[in-house]
Structure 1
Amino acid sequence: MKLRSFLLVLATVAVVLLAIAGGSLYWILAQSPLPLVKGGVIDQPTAAIFVPKQAPVMVSLLVNPDRLESFAQLTAYPKNRRRSRGEIEQVERSLLANTGLDYQKEIRPWIGDEITLSVTSLDFDRDPANGVRPGYLLAVRTKDPELAREFLQLSYSKQAIAGTFDLVFERYKGIDLIYKRPLQPPLKTSFLASAVVGDFVVFANDPKVLRDAINNVQVADLNLKNSPYYQEALQTILEPRIGVVYANLPAVSAWIANAPVPETPEVRQILTVALSLKSQGLVAQTALIGVAGAENKAPALAAPVGALAYVPDDAILTAAGMNLKQFWTQIETGLEPDSPLQQIFNQALNLLQEPLGINLPQEIFDWVRGEYSLALVPHPDGGEPDWIFIAEKTADANADEAIAHLDTLAKEQGYSVGNLPLLDKTVTAWTKLSTSTGKGLDSLARLQATVSGVHTSVDKYEIFATSVEAMAKALQDAERSLVNSKKFQQAISALPTENDGYFYIDWNQSEPILDEKLPLVRVVELAVKPLFKNLRSLTISSQGSQNSIRRATIFFNLGVR
């Protein structure tokens, strides 16, 4: 069973709960003086006892969605309360429209303070005849088990279609299971199974998945809670949080590819994410375990790099840091060749270097050992955005020689290399000449010059741009740079001062581009639409490593508009 065929009720119930929480965040963060704004709670996911040790991923919300909504209504300004309530109701109606369920009347009364969704296995029955069938499990803490049982009965009756399935009641190890069994099942059929186990309502996409979850509870060595890897990952979460994500990256990669086993089962790479509430946004603190060469490395910076002074304040996205050569070496040596992260980095590298016709690690990364910044900026005529790259020229890297080599490569690819004035600077342009012929009376041949790149030296930096217009923006007054803009200062306000640099995305400008290039982004947006509707920017920074654990922080800026 592929993810897109996951049972509607199981998916929509999980998504609506998370979406309601996300929809409430904006108003809580903007106005609330209450303790929840300090970050969240100290609890860990109790439902990890249902999840097997080899599970690819587990996502837990540790705060009751109803509590988040109540905080939103109590603390928002009166003029905003109707809008907040309206967004939440819209999510409820749209996600539960085809189920016949009413969140407020049928789900809300029994929900407690934990919701955990997990992919339990890549192929739960290991039967080649029916293809790859991942196991899915949803565990919801209940404050009233009897109301929860009534909900299960009601939900099954509303979904029932006469003559299409039998409702099966099964007693398994002291637990009452309920699931649907089609009367004439096709080869690939999924069941919706559920049970009330203690103070949790547990849903699964197959009775076997639910039975395995009960086994995990009764045999401690089987469940994720008692896994050494999981315990090691939990030790990285120190701050209060409203949610936790635990992911075994090789297994996650196999799940996305709909594969029955990971390509590199021997590789251990664990990602932990803790979601916390901060002033004007949501902070995700991440820890990556299982990366070579990450014993102990302090953050390299205590302030934004000077190279950001040449990034225009309308930048769509920006990456800035120190020592690009060292960063790339860490990626090459610190990640297994076939690991998911290594594949992601290699794909991104190919997207950048193939249009340029150069080997970026050899021709660029090798000599960039000081500050650097890479930015995507809008083009004045509204066409394809331009790139700007700023690199510090250090004495130990033979930067001038490397830059001259780039000019030579441009000539070898058929470009004319020459100087031209721009503002108060002289820039070197890579230009390709071509001719065109008009029609009718205007039939004379014309010479056209296409500029594919320009570069120039400013102070200790070399600035590259994909157009003359982009270079002009980079050379403008520093007061109009990104680093001096109010929006960027707000975007990094919740991040640690000491870090290894920033990756910044202006969401309003980048959303159309990301939706086109990465369809997964659109899926995520639809799932938690209220959160993304209020998102202004997204910023990521890394904080070095300690005890073989790499750390990073992500800030979702939901500032008041």
Structure 2
Amino acid sequence: MKLRLFFSALIAGVLVLLLLGAGGFYWLISNSPLNLLKGGATSNPTAAIFVPKQAPVMVSLLVNPERLEAFSQVVAPVTQRLRSRAELNQIKESLLAGTDLEYYRDIHPWLGDEITWALTTPDIDRNRENGVQPGYLLAVTTNDAERSRQFLELFWQKQTVAGANLVFEQYKGVKLIYSNQPVLVSGTKSLTNLTTAVVGDRFVLFGNHPKVLRDAINNVQVGNLNNSRQYQQALEKLTDQKIGLTFVNLPAVKAGLGNNDSTIENSKPFGSLAIALGINRQGLIADTSLISANQENLTATSPALSQPVTALQYLPSSSFLGIAGNDLNQFWNQISATLKTDNTLSQLLNQSIVSLQKSWEISLPQDIFSWVQGEYALGMLPRSDRSEPDWIFVAEKSHVADEAIAHLDTVAKQQGFNVGLLPLDNQSIIGWTKLITVPVSNGKTQKVMKLEAQVEGVHTNVGKYEIFASSVEAIDQALKASDNSLLNSEKFKQAIAPLPQPNDGYVYLQWQNIEPILERQLPILKVVDLIGKPFLSHVRSLSLSSYGSENNVQHSKIFFQLSNIND
């Protein structure tokens, strides 16, 4: 059994558990800029009145982009302010690319303090036989209703000159404007059924179909997102000091993907996910709430740790990934019990675990999780002689640990590895080795081969911990970590400082180091990186912690430490 495969499986298994338990995350784009530290202009999205109760996704920015730019100029070092401003301008230009619109000329004069986008429905006419056309709504507040009306008039005048046949429709006192033929953009692209409206002196609405705006206007009276129990529950739990909010209706998202039975809300454990984005001088904080669909699905738990686990003392400070917590066995049992009522998520978890075990004959839940009932820490660190990193896994031993560890050695023997003691300074370690032939140059034309013992992994006991590593070099660093450990690292301390205590442990990533490795394992991250490059290029570290559940809500926080602020 290759220990590298063991670590790959273990890290993936732990990440699956932690991410499923903590939820997920998604980044969103007074007079003093520093007031943003207290949150946006409004604590909650006012445009939620236009969003239907069952909308799959709503994303809101609760601050004018100019205030974000001013804040970035205040906190950025003087040498980086020009770069920061250029990057923000690049984002604005890219969002308006191909529209013949200029941000400062056409939008800036009237743009207010809230921008809300929503996927209102997976299919506008709910008839999949004629294809699927999602409904999109963009609601923007205006601080100058007259200027925003002039903006729309100028936009539609340009479309008329280009040959568009406009339709002006009065609907419940609101004038809708759209074209009954594709609206040309930059002479090449087209937006079929683009519809606009100004509602009162407060909102400018955009939709990709007249029905989207008609429904939005109807929602003001009844059935909007503010009437959702889970949405209101999320707002109560999330911080008021937020500049953005994302709300995801999980059953509606699954229904939109074709899983029709997910529309039965009470049969699923998770009803919604809410993410509030806040800001501090070091970066961005995402406060998340994963809300159960009914009271029976999520067991109330209290966070177990009042400080980082001491197992982290064996992860070197050079580790660019660190995961630490307490009682993997209990965590696995909680996640398994929670997912029993959701076949889709349960199958996803089981398939992930099974796929990790195909290369070797052990069961993660039985052979690893079951005996890790105390502290654990899992780390990844760079190698100077190869691109693949080393792994270290530290686990506090339980009363059944010795038998379980002996079983791992037995499995290694069954797979053709030699298992025996190896000397390392004053410490004896158990190595999993295999003899291989290696060509050696002797200065002549004929090849000379020699036998070499290739170490696939090692483990040893230190006090109450068992330490596994993917190489002799890695376990040597673990045994010598001492004061130069991740636990005592200033970078790690800064990364976890904004996260609450007590909690259930940490996931810590030095983003720039681990990003290439994650992209090799998960190709979808290349797409995420392409879309979010202006932001991700500045992420120095990412840290995540879960801190228990109450009243049917699972809480967690994610902190993005940005390098351009402090470096």
Mark yes or no: TM-score above 0.5. yes
Q: Does 1:299 align with 2:303?
A: yes
Aligned to 1:14: none
Q: Does 1:112 align with 2:112?
A: yes
Distance 2:182 2:42 in 1: 47
Q: 1:527 to 1:180 in 2, by over 3 A?
A: farther
| Cα contact 1:264–1:339 (8 A) shared by 2 | no
Alignment of 1:267-286 (within 5 A): 267=268, 268-286=270-288
Deviation at 1:70, TM superposition (A): 2.9
Alignment of 1:344-363 (within 5 A): 345-346=349-350, 348-350=352-354, 352-363=356-367
Distance 1:477 1:385 in 2: 17
* Other structure's SS at 1:296 match: coil
* Other structure's SS at 2:566 match: coil
Aligned to 1:10: none
Distance 2:93 2:116 in 1: 22
Deviation at 1:554, TM superposition (A): 0.8
* Other structure's SS at 2:175 match: strand
Q: 1:262 to 1:360 in 2, by over 3 A?
A: same
What's the TM-score, normalizing by structure 2?
A: 0.85
Aligned to 1:427: 429
What's the TM-score, normalizing by structure 1?
A: 0.86
Aligned to 1:141: 141
Deviation at 1:543, TM superposition (A): 0.7
Deviation at 1:350, TM superposition (A): 4.8
String of CA shifts for 1:441-462, please: whole Å, max 9, x gaps.
4434432433222111111111
Deviation at 1:472, TM superposition (A): 2.0
AA aligned opposite 2:309? V
Deviation at 1:296, TM superposition (A): 2.8
Q: 1:351 to 1:480 in 2, by over 3 A?
A: farther
With 440-449 and 84-93 compared, the bigger mean Cα shift is at 440-449
Aligned to 1:206: 209
Aligned to 1:99: 99
Alignment of 1:99-498 (within 5 A): 99-156=99-156, 162=162, 165-182=164-181, 190-198=192-200, 199-218=202-221, 220=222, 222-255=223-256, 258-259=257-258, 261=260, 263=262, 265-266=264-265, 267=268, 268-290=270-292, 294-336=298-340, 338=342, 342=346, 345-346=349-350, 348-350=352-354, 352-395=356-399, 398-435=400-437, 441-498=445-502
Deviation at 1:411, TM superposition (A): 1.2
* Other structure's SS at 1:196 match: strand
Deviation at 1:160, TM superposition (A): 7.4
AA aligned opposite 2:408? L
| Cα contact 1:100–1:158 (8 A) shared by 2 | no
Aligned to 2:36: 36
Distance 1:124 1:33 in 2: 40
| Cα contact 1:99–1:158 (8 A) shared by 2 | no
| Cα contact 1:42–1:240 (8 A) shared by 2 | no
String of CA shifts for 1:89-145, please: whole Å, max 9, x gaps.
222233323222111111111111111111111222122233222221111111112
Q: 1:461 to 1:64 in 2, by over 3 A?
A: same
String of CA shifts for 1:126-171, please: whole Å, max 9, x gaps.
22233222221111111112222222233445567945x5333222
Aligned to 1:6: none
* Other structure's SS at 1:361 match: helix
Aligned to 1:4: none
* Other structure's SS at 1:233 match: helix
RMSD: 3.0
Distance 2:259 2:196 in 1: 25
Deviation at 1:473, TM superposition (A): 2.1
AA aligned opposite 2:108? R
Aligned to 2:23: none
Aligned to 2:15: none
| Cα contact 1:193–1:205 (8 A) shared by 2 | yes
* Other structure's SS at 2:100 match: coil
| Cα contact 1:417–1:430 (8 A) shared by 2 | yes
Distance 1:517 1:193 in 2: 42
* Other structure's SS at 2:316 match: coil
| Cα contact 1:388–1:464 (8 A) shared by 2 | yes
AA aligned opposite 2:62? L
| Cα contact 1:132–1:259 (8 A) shared by 2 | no
* Other structure's SS at 1:182 match: coil
* Other structure's SS at 2:539 match: coil
* Other structure's SS at 2:237 match: coil
Q: Does 1:560 align with 2:566?
A: yes
Gaps of 5+ in 2: 1-25, 185-189
Q: 1:497 to 1:418 in 2, by over 3 A?
A: same
Deviation at 1:550, TM superposition (A): 1.1
| Cα contact 1:166–1:183 (8 A) shared by 2 | no
| Cα contact 1:431–1:451 (8 A) shared by 2 | yes
Distance 1:184 1:81 in 2: 38
* Identity rate, percent: 52
| Cα contact 2:301–2:549 (8 A) shared by 1 | yes
| Cα contact 2:33–2:67 (8 A) shared by 1 | no
Q: 1:419 to 1:181 in 2, by over 3 A?
A: farther
